[in-house]
Amino acid sequence: MEDRQIISLFFARDEHAIEELAKKYGRLIHQLAGNILRNDSDTEECVNDTYLGVWNSIPPNQPESLISYVCRLAKNISIKRFHYNTAQKRNSNYEVALDELEGVLLSTKDVESEIEAAQLTRDIEQFLESLKQTDRVVFLQRYYFSASYADIANQTGLSEKNVSVKLTRIREKLRKYLKERDYVV
């Protein structure tokens, strides 16, 4: 079923909308939440909360990209659960992935004091578009979907060491790219 049809089901308040959403994007939502949380019961709860969140927010929202909308919602819900679960402990790929990017990007509050977050987003999107497809996949899998090096290696056919080296080089390219655009990194 096409995304527009699924959105129409939500607007009609048809309960089949959630079934169709689960058929089309359920595995992706589960993977996204699972990569952040690394706990099956929390992952399932966040997946279900995502479906409920979509049900409650469409309407009034009418997303242009259903997949982006659903992934953003799933990621936000999973991050909230992650912070709740790890208030005083450090035990997740997600935390490690964020630490890797820490040297490239300042905290949101610091960046917002110098530039608008929207411009930073556009610049990062342009940077990602300039990367080779494999590099873009590796970067997004690690820093958007919070995939482990092993998961990325399995998906791309690269070795874990190669994934690690690629990510190091991409972060360095990103740092250089942002410096050229007068961002403080």
Query: In this structure, what token pair is assigned to residue 71?
Result: 């992934």
51-77: b or e for each residue (b if 16 or more CB lie within 10 Å)?
A: bebbeeebeeeebeebeebbbebbbeb
Q: What is the mean pLDDT of residues 73-97?
A: 75
The single residue listed with the structure tokens 């997004």 is 140
3-class DSSP state for residue 131? coil
Binning pLDDT at 50, 70 and 90, where does residue 112 land?
very low
Of the given ranges (20-29, 48-57, 104-113, 168-177), which has the lowest mean pLDDT? 104-113
Are 60 and 122 in the same domain?
no
Are 31 and 75 in the same domain?
yes
Indicate the residue among 28, 58, 85 that finishes a domain.
85
Given a cut of 80, is residue 107 above it in pLDDT?
A: no
Q: What is the mean pLDDT of residues 72-97?
A: 76
The CATH number assigned to the domain holding 121 equals 1.10.10.10
Domain with 108, as residue range(s), is 93-180
Residue 185 lies in a domain: no
pLDDT at site 120:
76
Indicate the residue among 85, 120, 143 that finishes a domain.
85
Are 10 and 72 in the same domain?
yes
Where does residue 63 fall: left (phi above 0), alpha (psi -120 to 50 degrees), or beta otherwise? Answer: beta
Q: How many domains are contained in the chain?
A: 2
Given a cut of 90, is residue 66 above it in pLDDT?
A: yes
Are 104 and 79 in the same domain?
no
Binning pLDDT at 50, 70 and 90, where does residue 27 land?
very high
Indicate the residue among 85, 116, 138 that finishes a domain.
85
The whole-model pTM stands at 0.63
Q: Which helix (H) or strand (E) holds 121?
A: helix 117-130
